[in-house]
Structure 1
Amino acid sequence: MKLGIFFLMLGYGLSQFYRSFLAVLSPALAEDLGASAADLSYASGIWFLVFAAAQLPIGVALDRYGPRWISVILVAIGGGGGGVMMALAHTPKI
């Protein structure tokens, strides 16, 4: 039971991080990408809309199939998708 509470807290912390990391990284993103404040605020708004839109289908799936299988599937999609994106990434020219 205590391990479950730990993972619940970890998930909550990650959720809060994902909601606020764009504000913290804005100066670095603006410098690296050459993005304006308007570009970054637009990207941040889209991020929140996608984050909010994902809550509905994930909530329904959690209610219908349970957290164990949905968590496994989402971690596989996220990990696999991240791995593919990193494998296909190009080295930036410095």
Structure 2
Amino acid sequence: MSSILFWNCRGVQKKGMRNYLCDLINQHNLGQVGLLETKVEDLLRSEVDRLVGRGWEFFYQPVVGKFGGILILCKSKDVLFKLIEGGRSGW
């Protein structure tokens, strides 16, 4: 069984964010991660792979102005996630 994390990270590209997030994922066997306040305007598959490693599907809603942004990550082998409606996606 995997766990879910929702986190107001206040900037997904901050220094040290990747290591901290990967540690959380491994420690708690996370299968889904929701990051809020990502402050990301555009996100590529390669950036998601660098952030959490391969094998994760993603959906993101870009930042508007200086605030906001949402990134939803799901481990593709553990979780079935169906996006009904949204902005940009790696699904």
Bin of the TM-score, shorter chain as denominator length = under 0.3
TM-score, structure 1 as length reference: 0.24
Structure with more of its chain in helix, by fraction: 1
TM-score, structure 2 as length reference: 0.25
Structure with more of its chain in strand, by fraction: 2
- The one of the two structures with greater contact order (alpha-carbon pairs below 8 A, sep at least 6) is 2
Structure number, greater radius of gyration: 1
